[in-house]
A and B are shown apart, each in its own frame.
Chain A
């Protein structure tokens, strides 16, 4: 069974400040990990993915995440927040090997607020 925990349902930062959204996962097999962003009344857009290559993954819009197996973490960071980054962010896991047919298990989501 897989699970994802996102620490902090709400994160608030000032424009220009560091963004750090936390994600810890649990998986009995090597995981594939994803971060998605959801803007109001829209679907989910992929930010980045980890599929067992480089542990530091760069995504769109200046975001990156580091896979740390020892900590079972996949935290999302961005050095400098923009107002347009305000959205809800979801961390998700699927298992390598296809035993769960690629279905995603999501965290509860973190709403990012960016103050001017």
Chain B
């Protein structure tokens, strides 16, 4: 399967723990976007990365959240000291460019539940 791969599909954490969400883009795509889908809400942009660079993190909460896309390996979205309000579905999408005219391809998401 050459699509966007996200893991884990489901992640359960207790309040105060760390959550690490991984995303491998489609082959040939070097542009990665993370979105969050809260219950009863649409998807909200969080962060846009290229290899080794964060380009736009305007949608990311200022504290506890971080993202990276290393030269080798998947993109990682990290949430430290999770709270109940972090419970959501987190989607990764990849694109071959940042021009906006190419559709983004989405993974199946990671559903994060905080106990």
- Please tell me if the beta carbons of B91 and A101 are within 8 angstroms of each other in the complex: no
Main SS class of interface, A = loop
Beta-carbon contacts of B69-107 to A below 8 Å, as 1s and 0s?
A: 000000000000000000000010101011111111111
Instruction: Find A102's partner among B6, B31, B108, B111 (CB 8 Å cutoff).
Output: B31
Residues of B within 8 A of A104 (CB): 33, 35, 43, 45, 93, 104
Q: How far is the CA of A106 from the CA of B101 in the complex (A)?
A: 15
Convert A79-116 into 0s and 1s, putting 1 for each residue whose CB lies closer than 8 angstroms to a CB of B: 00000000000100011111011111111110000000
CB pair B31 A106 closer than 8 Å? no
CA distance A36 to B4 in the complex (A): 16
Q: Which residues of A contact B105 (CB under 8 A)?
A: 46
Residue from B48, B91, B101 having most chain A Cβ neighbours under 10 A = B101
Complex-state Cα separation, A36 to B103, whole angstroms: 10
Smallest beta-carbon distance B99→chain A, Å: 5
Complex alpha-carbon distance, A51 and B95, angstroms: 15
Min CB distance, A94 to chain B, in Å? 4
Question: Which residues of A sit under 8 angstroms from B42, Cβ to Cβ?
Answer: 90, 106-109
Chain B residue nearest in CB terms to A9: B40
Most buried by B among A36, A44, A98: A44
Question: Which residues from chain A contact B25 at a C-beta distance below 8 Å?
Answer: none
Give min CB distance, A51 to chain B, whole Å: 4
Given contacts A98-B99, A100-B100, contact A90 B43 (CB under 8 A): yes
For residue B18, CB closer than 8 A to chain A, the reply is no
Within 8 A of B (CB), among A23-72: 32, 34, 36, 41-46, 49, 51-52
Contact B100 A102 (CB under 8 A): yes
Inter-chain contacts of B35 with A (CB < 8 A): 104, 106
- Do the beta carbons of B41 and A43 come within 8 Å of each other? no
Q: Is B55 an interface residue (CB 8 A)?
A: yes
**In the A-B complex, the 7 residue pairs with the closest CB atoms:** A94-B100, A43-B106, A102-B100, A44-B106, A106-B42, A51-B101, A43-B108
- State the A residues within 8 Å of B (CB): 32, 34, 36, 41-46, 49, 51-52, 90, 94-98, 100-109
